[in-house]
Amino acid sequence: MKQEKIFSLAVFAALALYGAIGFYFLPLANFTGPLTRMGKIPESLFGWRKEQPAIDPAYLVNAPWQEADVLAIGDSFSIPHLWQSVLTKNGLKVHTETWEAMRNICEDFPAWLQSKGFKGHYVAIEVVEHNFKDTLNRSVGCKHMNYHATVELPVVPPPRLLVRNLADYSGRFSVGIQTELHVLKYEKLATRPDFSAWSLGNNVRMNRIKDGCKLFSHQSCNDALFLADDQAEDLGEDALNKMQVINDSLEDYQLTWVIVPNKSTTYLYPEKQFWNKTEKRFHAPNLLRVLRGAVADRTTDLYPANETHLSTTGYLILGDAIYRSLR
């Protein structure tokens, strides 16, 4: 009986110690970016700190089908309506639909588009490089549109600065502990002169960036976070040929391909040639050249370190390139 009591007390003490440690480190898990959350690395090290431009809410409106000059079909890079705001500011009315609603661009897409009352001249197809091949494969060979309207939520301007250092104790103790362990490991790795990359697990990797502190505003600005499954390989001729199929089916519209380079392509694999080929073959905006130009100009937080998406600054650069391609 005495041994059982001692064992119970030992278990209780261990659990209490674990809880106390977890509670202490829990504020580290107050994540705002997807890569910091997935990689369990704190915002205090990898959260952006430079103020972003203000966006007038009047430029974030989604025009009705019947009034739109431009139809934008896109993924999560189009949902904030930020690149579209450049077109709206310049007098174009943009109607945006997500791939979640559109599913695919099928053979009967032109007739379907007319049935929606769209009378505009421009169609912008936005896809991030990471998902481009899958999106093309689904559309090529698709016969009939299978549109699923989604609830249109109000679009508000993104924050210009993120509020940090607010204690949040609503998460799991284990996440705070794992985050602290990553901090301790990172502190050792970061001081090594040969440090170049580290896999944090959960599809996140960290890379050392040349002149990183001229490109990022976060505290550990020599390093940035990326999706681990981004491909170093370039997109090939098969993708170009499938783009041609869609182009041919939309010959009555001015089709603009908006292929957003992966964050890793922009910073780590800038030698890819796919954007040069799409520019030459389809007169598509060369977004890799545009974003690499912004990097060369030392644009801070083009892609924030903790994000998979562009910053507000990056979206405005993207929108300007798209607008110029429509003229």
Q: What per-residue confidence (pLDDT) applies to 327?
A: 73
Average per-residue pLDDT for the chain: 90
Q: What per-residue confidence (pLDDT) applies to 172?
A: 54
Give the whole-angstrom CA distance, residue 184 versus residue 283.
Answer: 49
Q: What per-residue confidence (pLDDT) applies to 79?
A: 96
Mean of the pLDDT values across residues 4-13? 47
At residue 220 the predicted structure's pLDDT band, cuts being 50, 70 and 90, is very high
For residue 13, is pLDDT > 70?
no
Give the whole-angstrom CA distance, residue 99 versus residue 84.
Answer: 16
Of the candidates 109, 119, 94, which has an alpha carbon nearest to the alpha carbon of residue 146? Answer: 109
Which of 64 and 25 is assigned the larger pLDDT? Answer: 64
Strand order in the sheet with 204-208: 197-201, 204-208, 223-227
Q: What per-residue confidence (pLDDT) applies to 5?
A: 57
Burial tier of 228 (Cβ tally within 10 Å: 0-12, 13-18, 19+): middle
At residue 4 the predicted structure's pLDDT band, cuts being 50, 70 and 90, is low
Burial 158-183 (b: 16+ CB within 10 A, else e): beeeeeeeeeeeebebebbbbbbebb
At residue 143 the predicted structure's pLDDT band, cuts being 50, 70 and 90, is very high
Mean of the pLDDT values across residues 226-230? 97
CB 292 within 8 A of CB 270: yes
Please write the tens of the pLDDT for every residue from 106-118.
999 999 999 999 9
Name all domains of the chain by residue range, CATH numbers in brackets.
Answer: 2-50+160-227 (no CATH), 57-157+232-326 (3.40.50)
Distances, alpha carbon 190 to alpha carbons 38, 222, 224, 250, in Å: 20, 9, 12, 51
What DSSP assignment string belongs to 79-94?
A: TT-HHHHHHHHTT--E
Which of 168 and 96 is assigned the larger pLDDT? Answer: 96
For residue 25, is pLDDT > 80?
no
Mean of the pLDDT values across residues 224-239? 97
Task: State both tokens at 250.
Answer: 């939309």
CB 50 within 8 A of CB 201: no
Sign of CA dihedral 315, 158, 268, 209: positive
Give the whole-angstrom CA distance, residue 82 versus residue 147.
Answer: 24
For residue 20, is pLDDT > 90?
no
Q: What per-residue confidence (pLDDT) applies to 166?
A: 52
Please write the tens of the pLDDT for every residue from 42-82.
999 999 999 999 999 999 999 999 999 999 999 999 999 99
Of the candidates 61, 146, 143, which has an alpha carbon nearest to the alpha carbon of residue 99? Answer: 146
CB 158 within 8 A of CB 312: yes
Give the whole-angstrom CA distance, residue 320 versus residue 252.
Answer: 24
For residue 315, is pLDDT > 70?
yes
At residue 154 the predicted structure's pLDDT band, cuts being 50, 70 and 90, is confident
Task: State both tokens at 223.
Answer: 């390093």
Mean of the pLDDT values across residues 4-12? 48
At residue 12 the predicted structure's pLDDT band, cuts being 50, 70 and 90, is very low
Give the whole-angstrom CA distance, residue 71 versus residue 94.
Answer: 6
At residue 26 the predicted structure's pLDDT band, cuts being 50, 70 and 90, is very low
Task: State both tokens at 130.
Answer: 């990471």
At residue 245 the predicted structure's pLDDT band, cuts being 50, 70 and 90, is very high
| Alpha helices for 81-216 (secondary structure H) | 82-89, 99-102, 109-115, 129-139, 173-190
Helix axes 274-282, 287-296, angle to 10 degrees: 130
